[in-house]
Amino acid sequence: MNNWTKDAVFYHIYPLGFCGCEQYHQESINHRILKLKEWIPHLVDMHINAVYLGPVFESYEHGYDTSDYRMIDHRLGTNEDFKEVCDALHEAGIRIVLDGVFNHVGRRFWAFLDVIEKGQASCYCSWFHNLNFYGQSPCGDPFTYDAWEGHYNLVKLNLRNEEVVSYLLESIAMWMDEFHIDGLRLDAADCIDQDFFRRLKQFCKEKAPDFWLMGEIIHGDYNRWANDEMLDSVTNYECYKGLYSSHNEKNYFEIAYSLNRQFGNGGIYRNLNLYNFVDNHDVNRLASTLKDSNDLKNVYTMLYTMPGIPSIYYGSEWAVKGTKHDGSDADIRPCLPLEDPSYDEELCEHIAMLGKIYGELSALRYGAYEQLVVRNEQFAFMRKDEKTHVVVAFNVSDDTFTMELPCAAFAYKDMCKDVVYLAKDNHIELDMEPKSAYILIPCADNEKGVVKKMPKKIIKEEAPEQEVMPLPETKEEQAIVLPVIDMPITPGVYEHFKGKHYTVLYVAKHSETLESYVVYRQLYGNGEVWIRPLDMFLKDVEVDGKIVPRFKYIGK
């Protein structure tokens, strides 16, 4: 199921950093998680409809060393505080995905403390992977155990133990039932027993069919984890690297190769809705990774127009910088105010615009992917669904570039700049500014926006003789312009609801889609010829509260 993720735009927050929490666990309870409520208007303005919250469960340090799966970290607040936040987010139409850290726990996890205290007498010895009393751990314990990647403060759980699995599933049920969370991001998914994922998916889907399970996967074939039996999606680290690297090196072949391999004709992930991002809590921020800050808008435009789910890491919408250094993640997980004079508001407005466009164009959310142009410094692709298609073009060069794009419509409107481009000889010429991107949708005419690249005459393969016909000067001549043919609408003169008069020449078929288009010419003025989908030509419009025909037949 999970249809909601097809329409989702995520906002990723690392709560312990976002809320300015102390580095280590505190016995005193703070209520910092309520800060999230103050950010809801900003999320709505950004057209965000889902948040992914990094670890919120009780822990000693960074959140991935869980102490209690059923309690909010004291540094963030209480369970009651978090329920208030969840209710507010849901009321604003924003879904909630939590970080599920089920591969390992911290050394202060209550069951592990019992092992430390009671040794072999503890009933929880079998809860931990490969725990035995035939040696000493690096932490001085009279036993050894498996740790996550050699970090002995992170104790690996035994997910083959039915008691452990039952405890984790019951904990998840609590968050689903009491807080109505909408999904989980599974940390270190490549390390987790796959049978556990099968149990997890069956359990969650029985409770809520649209519950979403997404795994953190850095390398490997994503189909191993995202499939009908296990997870719904995974992190798209392959394209994460390609998104910034292709701009830094001015080499669009890199990201084009990845996108085509994943989503093109015969692409290996065409049936997956992958989780896309340009930075997160584990990597340097995009504004610190890009060599040229002028590439920021292009990168985010690509994030919102490529197949998959776009995600924004908190603060990066304002080009906040941050790098990992000296083993510390503090700079990439900062506490941020809602407003700051140093923020790049222009970038934030651009990303908000992309969110709006993403919500309006179904082809960006559901459409197939097809590459059109690939050059070192220029790139264009199409997204197409049953309703429409969108052409997206990029120029990473420091210079202007004229790109010729094949087209399947008469005119295209750039959603970013409100400019209309008219086709000529089955293509449009796009004069691309340096460091720019274009999101082009087919439109019927140039009634809105500034017109670019208007051809002197319209070339139609179906009826070329009509292209060169002289403009009729008398009513008698106008009456004989049309040959006698069978047409789905009455030929003759029509009045547009804005007052201009046109004569219908033909109803033509699109050679690829077979959609019917009305070909009509302005009676007076410069005699321009236009085309418009037949359904749109016949459709009524609202004018001053009244429903009137878009085009009214007024006779021969």
Q: Is the dihedral of CA 162, 163, 166, 172 positive or negative?
A: negative
Determine which helix (DSSP H) or strand (DSSP E) holds 116, and give its type and residue range. Answer: helix 110-118
Domain chopping of the chain, boundaries: 368-452, 467-555
pLDDT of residue 479: 39
In angstroms, rounded to a whole number, what is the distance separating the alpha carbons of residues 259 and 274?
Answer: 12
- 104 touches 199 (CB < 8 A): no
- 281 touches 333 (CB < 8 A): yes
Strand stretches in 407-527, DSSP E: 411-414, 419-422, 427-432, 436-443, 450-452, 493-496, 501-509, 516-522
Q: Which CATH class is domain 368-452?
A: mainly beta
CA 506 to each of CA 100, 466, 485, 491: distance values in angstroms, whole numbers, following the listed order: 61, 9, 9, 8
pLDDT of residue 523: 74
Instruction: Please count the other Cβ atoms lying within 10 Å of the Cβ belonging to residue 207.
Output: 13
CATH of region 467-555: 2.30.30.320
- 46 touches 351 (CB < 8 A): yes
User: Checking DSSP bridges between strand 411-414 and strand 66-72, what pairing results, if any?
Assistant: unpaired
pLDDT of residue 556: 66
Q: Is 399 helix (H, G, I), strand (E, B) or coil?
A: coil
pLDDT of residue 464: 35
Which residues are CB-contacts of 118 (< 8 A; sequence separation ≥ 6)?
none
Determine which helix (DSSP H) or strand (DSSP E) holds 541, and give its type and residue range. Answer: strand 540-543
**How confident is the model over 46-102, as pLDDT tens digits?**
999 999 999 999 999 999 999 999 999 999 999 999 999 999 999 999 999 999 999
Q: Where are the alpha helices (DSSP H) in 321-418?
A: 345-360, 362-366
pLDDT of residue 503: 83
Amino acid at 494: Y
Per-residue pLDDT in tens (0 to 9) along the chain, 556 residues: 457 999 999 999 999 999 999 999 988 999 999 999 999 999 999 999 999 999 999 999 999 999 999 999 999 999 999 999 999 999 999 999 999 999 999 999 999 999 999 999 999 999 999 999 999 999 999 999 999 999 999 999 999 999 999 999 999 999 999 999 999 999 999 999 999 999 999 999 999 999 999 999 999 999 999 999 999 999 999 999 999 999 999 999 999 999 999 999 999 999 999 999 999 999 999 999 999 999 999 999 999 999 999 999 999 999 999 999 888 899 999 999 999 999 999 999 999 999 999 999 999 999 999 999 999 999 999 999 998 999 999 999 999 999 999 887 789 999 998 899 988 888 899 999 999 999 999 986 544 455 554 443 333 333 333 333 343 444 444 433 333 334 678 888 888 888 888 888 888 877 767 788 888 888 765 567 888 888 888 888 888 778 888 888 887 6
How much is the CA Rg of the chain, to the nearest whole Å? 29
pLDDT of residue 527: 67
Determine which helix (DSSP H) or strand (DSSP E) holds 11, and give its type and residue range. Answer: strand 10-13
